[in-house]
Structure 1
Amino acid sequence: MTTCDEIIRLTQDLIRIPSMHSRPEEIMRCADFVVGWCGRQDIAARKIVHGGTPSVLVMPGAHARLLLMTHIDVVDAPEELFSPRIEGDRLLGRGAIDDKYAVALSLVLFRDRLRALERSGLSQADMALGLLITGDEETGGENGAARALEGIDADFAIALDGGGPERIVTREKGVIDIMLTATGKAAHGARPWLGLNAIDTLLEDYGRIRELFGGDDGPDHWHRTVNFGKIRAGESINQVPDTAQGWFNIRFTEDDEPRRLVEAITERVRSRVDVLSVIPVFASPPSPMTDILLDTAPGAVLTREHGASDARHLMDRGIPGAIWGAEGFGTQHGLGECVSIASITKLHGWLSLLCDRLESDGSK
């Protein structure tokens, strides 16, 4: 069995565990599966739990030169997506690209690097590599990466959760989730002129909000955006609703100040504005490791992405890093979620070279 075959088989085993947040017991079972796998490989691993969320730490000791960050939680999906299948170069299933292939890759990589060191009389304490595997990336990472990183010292971190083999991400947009509540006056649907439809107010406010999000229409859309994702209003088709709620997802760049953006929205609308969450922009501090990455992966370029990952929690710890990963063809969270097997092989090879380089120079 080749290394890639082993990674794919382990990824399939992980996909079969429906570790959705609607089934928290399965997230815990998946974490226990990872710890059990490490135990069978004579790898020291530790599970920690914060707020019911498990994380697994596989570390050389107090310090890692390179930390790989991955996650075992996935977004909800129908049962059939937890039966992985291979079609040509693609492994399909929930979590195939987001992010269970990365969990499997990092585990096998760690095991193989450890075995190589052991042949030279060294141990896990001598490794350059550390792993952080969390269980709440899809819901913000506050009990996973944010808490686990408090006890981790690392020179550089790679979140294997985005980008692509030739795309190393060093900036990601921030996120603001807000809820608008519009109020009106209830009336019978036969006499709407006697009431004030709260939906009308909400839609008018949406128009006012969109005026703040013109942006430019450049090819990469690196400007703030807003998505009106959910609406709730009314109890009956023949009643004028007196309340309407709308949920909005805002993505912003390093050129925006989130507090001022929320203030501008609040000043423009008639509805009440409630801020549900704010996720800061990820912008890695300069690091020589970035140049080493580019040197290790010929043809790769530094880039930026619109999504958000656990890499943002590195900012609070002052740890430079990047988002990197296999090719998923933009299928994350979709019914056709998949990962390119060839790209996993390529990524594994480059990460092996990177670890070899870090172990060889031996610096701390």
Structure 2
Amino acid sequence: MTKEVLIKQLSDLVRFKTLSGNVEENTKALDYVQELIGQGFEMERIKNGKAEVLMASVVKGNSPKYCYMVHVDVVSGRDDQFEMKIEDGKAIGRGTCDMKFSIPLGISLLKEAREKQIDFCLMITTDEEVGGLEGAKLIAERGFSPQILIVPDGGENLNFVDKAKGVCQLKLVAKGKPAHASRPWLGKNAIDPLLKLGAELLKIYGENNLTESWKTTMNFGTISGGTSTNQVCPEAEMKIDFRYPETDSIENIVSVVEGKIKELGLEVEVSKLSTGLPTFTDVNDPEVKRYIGVMEEAFGQKIVVKQTYGASDARHFAGLKCPVLMHKPLGGEIHSEDEWIDIDSVMTFCEGLKKYLGLNS
């Protein structure tokens, strides 16, 4: 892949407004990718709800040696952010770093893998930004089990990610009884129990939010209820996002929340939204050591191993215990107005991947 091809394809991809849930734009983007891939591959397009997954493989089967998993969906942005620009060797635009840069690479690697008959699969999802519940999760549940999962969707400053926190998002609903705000004793405010519960949960998890730590953190994402200031709220809900390390679990978090509800004598219903297991990769695994060694040679510097706090589609494959190679080129400002990826770094990353996969031998 030449630098010119990278820039052209990345610019075209950025132009698609592939917000999660925008079925039309994501379909157009995948159509474009499929056209670039061309003929001669095992190609499958799986639609599920508002998501679609494109899978292109060199060898037919459900357990390729290498799966290169990326996503084409992005978060929202201004119209001008969907027109990529080049400044000081950086490609700037929505999704350049998270993570459309990876798609031209994946197409190039796929084509070269076919020439060498390397068992390689390119998987592109369209709902990673909203949890991957209709995309990657479905593929995992169907029994897709790669031997090695390559996910260029984490790690800053060329860091290799050895572990990522799991996610547990809960919805809490409380119901009350409406009344005029001047006579609150005639009603039952649904917001009150959520506030009481929230205060108790902060006593447990609040300290973990104050500084960087490998402990379970909690974020009150939304609290909603009521339609008028002068009415006692009849129904309210609160959504909480927990990020937890491998020493905690979804079951334990739910147990803590439900335990506090019972202890306080509250009437609050708990349901799960998006959940995912923590991912962990043993850096002493021979494949991981080989990968890091190849990338250190390619970039001419030491690759630092570090954990990440965000989640990716890799969470849905955590149960496989296969090595997850989570690493990416230099980039930054994801989800911001100035999101960028370094073009030369992408090219070096591509060369490193080619060597690791045995494509340049």
Tell whether the structures are fold-level matches, with TM greater than 0.5: yes
Equivalent residue number for residue 33 of structure 1: 32
Superimposed CA distance per residue, residues 179-210 of structure 1 (whole angstroms, 9 cap, x where no aligned partner): 11233343223344544433233222111112
Q: Residue 50 of structure 1 aligns to a residue in which SS?
A: strand
Residues 165, 324 of structure 1: 8 Å contact kept:
no
Cα gap change, 1:275 to 1:256, in 2 (>3 Å): same
**How many equivalent pairs are there?**
346
Partner SS state of residue 19, structure 1: coil
In structure 2, which of residues 139, 164, 168 is the aligned counterpart of residue 176 of structure 1? 168
Q: Does residue 12 of structure 1 match 2:11?
A: yes
Q: Equivalent residue for 2:71?
A: 71
Question: Are residues 1:277 and 2:298 paired?
Answer: no
Evaluate the alpha carbon distance shift between residue 256 and residue 279 of structure 1 in structure 2; reply closer, same or farther with a 3 A threshold. same
- Shift in CA distance, 328/279, structure 1 to aligned 2, threshold 3 Å: same
What is the deviation of 1:219?
Answer: 6.5
Which of 23, 45, 48 aligns to 1:48? It is 45
Cα distance in 2, alignment partners of residues 152 and 180 from structure 1: 33
After the TM superposition, which of the residue ranges 225-234 and 279-288 deviates more from structure 2? 279-288
The 1:33–1:47 alpha-carbon spacing in structure 2 relative to 1, beyond 3 Å, is farther
CA contact (8 A) 2:131 2:274 kept: no
Q: CA deviation at 1:309?
A: 0.8
1:78 and 1:244 map into 2 onto residues whose CA distance is 32
Matches of 2:190 and 2:36 in 1, distance apart?
55
Aligned to 1:109: 109
Corresponding letter in the other structure for 2:76:
D
Distance 1:12 1:221, change over 3 A: same
What is the aligned counterpart of 1:294 among 286, 292, 295? 292
Q: Which runs of 5+ in 2 are unaligned?
A: 297-301
CA distance in 2, matches of 1:74, 1:218: 28
SS of alignment partner, residue 325 of structure 2: strand
- For residues 1-364 of structure 1, the aligned pairs below 5 Å read 3-39=2-38, 44=41, 46-52=43-49, 53-61=51-59, 62=61, 64-111=64-111, 113-114=112-113, 123-124=114-115, 126-148=117-139, 150=142, 152=144, 154-164=146-156, 166-192=158-184, 194-214=186-206, 220-269=212-261, 270=266, 271-284=268-281, 287-298=285-296, 299-329=302-332, 331-356=333-358, 360=361
Q: Report the more deviating stretch, 190-199 or 331-340.
A: 190-199
Whole-Å separation in 2 of the counterparts to 1:43 and 1:89: 34
Please give the alpha-carbon distance, in whole angstroms, between the structure 2 residues aligned to 1:23 and 1:301: 37
Secondary structure of 1:94's counterpart equals coil
Aligned-partner Cα distance in 2 for 1:276–1:292: 38
Q: Residues 219 and 205 of structure 1: is their aligned pair in 2 closer, same or farther, counting only changes over 3 Å?
A: closer
Hey, what's the Cα distance between the residues in 1 that align with 2:209 and 2:239? 24
In structure 2, C-alpha distance between the alignment counterparts of 1:185 and 1:70, rounded to whole Å: 47
Letter in 2 for 1:311: A
Asked if the contact 1:31/1:56 (under 8 Å) is kept, the reply is yes
Q: Which amino acid aligns with 1:283?
A: F
Shift of 1:281: 1.1
After the TM superposition, which of the residue ranges 224-233 and 334-343 deviates more from structure 2?
334-343
What is the CA–CA distance in structure 1 between the aligned matches of 2:96 and 2:255, rounded to whole Å? Answer: 40
Give the Cα–Cα distance (whole angstroms) in 2 for the partners of residues 197 and 144 of structure 1: 39
TM-score (norm 2): 0.86
> For the residues of structure 2 that align with 1:218 and 1:349, how far apart are their CA atoms?
40
The answer (yes or no) to whether the contact 2:53–2:135 under 8 Å persists in 1 is: yes
- CA distance, structure 1, for counterparts of residue 52 and residue 115 of structure 2: 22
Q: TM-score, normalised by structure 1?
A: 0.86
Q: 1:302 to 1:264 in 2, by over 3 A?
A: same
Task: Give the whole-Å Cα distance in 2 for the aligned partners of 1:159 and 1:219.
Answer: 27
Segments of 4+ in structure 1 off by > 6 A? none
Moved more, 256-265 or 64-73: 64-73
**Structure 1 residue 59: Cα displacement:** 1.8
CA distance in 2, matches of 1:336, 1:305: 21
Find the aligned partners of 2:255 and 2:139 in 1 and give their Cα distance. 33
Any idea what SS the aligned residue of 2:65 has? strand
Determine what percentage of the aligned residue pairs are the same residue. Answer: 29
SS at match of 2:337: coil
In terms of mean alpha carbon deviation, does 167-176 or 283-292 score higher? 283-292
Deviation at 1:215, TM superposition (A): 5.6
- Could you tell me how far apart the structure 1 residues matched to 2:118 and 2:286 are? 20
CA contact (8 A) 2:218 2:240 kept: yes
The code of the aligned residue for 1:207 comes to A
